[in-house]
A and B are shown apart, each in its own frame.
Chain A
Amino acid sequence: MTNRKPQTLSEAASLIDAVPLVGEGDGPVEGVYCSDLLSDVLANAPENSLWITVQNHRNIVAVAETRDVTAIVVAGGRPVSDDTKKQAERLEIPIYSSPLTVYEIAGRLYVAGVGREERCGPQSPPGPQCPPRQKIAGEPQ
């Protein structure tokens, strides 16, 4: 695992041990949203983000399409039905599967700096733009 902040779907996927079930790609990853409530995702998922969820039914595809997320990551290695995969292929929504829990996935991506203000990335020196952060356990120095 490198300390470099992942910028694309494939880079982010390798960081969270995720394998593609549908589609692959180098779509941009600028944010992450973790939620299992569909309307919450529709309302709040940031642009060009990974959506981390334990929901694995076919409605997640329509939500991802509606909200323009870059990809769905189904956490906890939960199975995804062929029906859902087919729908995702049709709408060209990548679906990845990770054996990690939502917490672990979010933790790794957060530590790597995904979705945090650019000025406060892990490499940025503390300053007026970026107040010093609390050190997070496991975070690379």
Chain B
Amino acid sequence: MRMRIDPVTYTPFHEALYDLRVRDAMSKNLIVLGPEATMLDAQIAMRDHRISGIPIVIDGDKLVGLVSIQDVIEALVANDIHAPVGKWMTEKVYTVREKIPLIQAVKELQKRGFGRLPVLNAEDRLVGMLTNNDVTRAVMLRLNEEARAAEQREADLMARSMSATQERPGIERIEIRVEPMDLDAAGTFAGLVKKAVKKRGVSPDVARRAAIAAYEAEVNVILHSMGGILEAFLSDQDITILSRDRGPGIPNVDEAMKEGFSTANEVVRALGFGAGMGLPNMKRCSDEFSISAPASGTTVTMKILFNPPSQATHQENATEEKT
């Protein structure tokens, strides 16, 4: 039985469509004509700029009509190609506002079978044209940006990992990659950590604290992040556990450090996770603990000394100081 809970299905394509507005996608280099231009002018402009429709404006940007290829053909058939566009243009033009979500404009294009939509600003001025091509290009660009950002995050993570590794020669290192929601893997890192510290002949209490800190870090990355890397560095005196993930960070770290606070969902809570004790457990088990949790990724560093100066202060069973 694989215990793996799929993250909420999310389609980047749709998300980009909702995220983008018409003005992000529309063409702003407008080819326009005045009403006094002829249908021949319109035909030439369409051919030269490879467009299938021309907005007709007065005062530079006040839309009064639209001439399409269909209109040109009709003028040709009527042998009236030298007539002013004002005579043949479509006057009742369907338009969209620049600030509406792109998805809404896409629906209009599909519903009405239009090839293009003039885009108006709040002052009813023509500011762009939107075609299906514009939509596709804008969405692709956005997806590409997101992919590049994700690659960059991955590269940053790798770079941080490499620098940490190369820093100290003669240090035993354990590394494990963690996939989001892969609960089957929970405990793998903790098991390796425990084995490694035990081999160094530390006290059972120290071994247990290292294992607990490692386990909680591991579960946190599995449950709450988009995946990450867990590392442990063992020297003669101590073990440093480093947990780094790909985000989305922790909005309020102080709150997350409080016992009982949890953002885990119902499914994992039913399995006994999400008690809101992970971070407090990690802190209590460590001799040194630090956390930073920007949206780009959470980093937790924990050091556990092999020979703690005073056993009493490091018993993880010891109740926390009451104030």
Q: B272's contact among A36, A46, A47, A61, by CB below 8 Å, is which? A: A36
Could you list which residues of chain A lie within 8 angstroms of chain B, going by C-beta atoms?
Answer: 36-40, 42-44, 46-47, 53, 55, 57-63, 65-68, 81, 83, 91
- Which chain B residues lie closer than 8 Å to A53 at the CB level? 272
If over half of A's interface residues share one DSSP class (helix, strand or loop), that class is named, otherwise mixed; here it is: helix
Interface centre among A36, A43, A46, A66 (most CB of B within 10 A): A66
Could you list which residues of chain B lie within 8 angstroms of chain A, going by C-beta atoms?
Answer: 1, 3, 183-184, 186-187, 190-191, 194, 204, 208, 211-212, 214-216, 219, 271-273, 275-278, 280-281, 284, 316-317
Interface centre among B183, B273, B277, B316 (most CB of A within 10 A): B277
- Pull 30 A–B residue pairs with CB atoms less than 8 Å apart, ordered by A: A36-B272, A37-B275, A37-B277, A38-B219, A38-B271, A38-B275, A39-B216, A39-B277, A39-B278, A40-B275, A40-B277, A42-B212, A43-B277, A53-B272, A57-B3, A57-B271, A59-B3, A59-B183, A59-B272, A59-B273, A60-B272, A62-B215, A65-B187, A65-B191, A66-B208, A66-B212, A66-B215, A68-B208, A81-B1, A83-B1
A47→B187 CA distance, assembly (Å): 19
A83→B281 CA distance, assembly (Å): 28
A91→B317 CA distance, assembly (Å): 24
- Does B275 lie within 8 Å of A62, measured CB to CB? no
- In the complex, which residue of chain A has the Cβ closest to the Cβ of B280? A43
- In the complex, which residue of chain A has the Cβ closest to the Cβ of B214? A66
Total A-B contacts with CB atoms under 8 angstroms apart: 79
B114, chain A: closest CB distance, angstroms: 55
- Which chain B residues lie closer than 8 Å to A59 at the CB level? 3, 183, 186-187, 271-273
A52, chain B: closest CB distance, angstroms: 13
- In the complex, which residue of chain A has the Cβ closest to the Cβ of B281? A43
- Which chain A residues lie closer than 8 Å to B278 at the CB level? 39
- Which chain A residues lie closer than 8 Å to B276 at the CB level? 39
A55, chain B: closest CB distance, angstroms: 5
- In the complex, which residue of chain B has the Cβ closest to the Cβ of A40? B275
- Does B187 lie within 8 Å of A38, measured CB to CB? no
A112→B263 CA distance, assembly (Å): 40
- Does A38 lie within 8 Å of B316, measured CB to CB? no
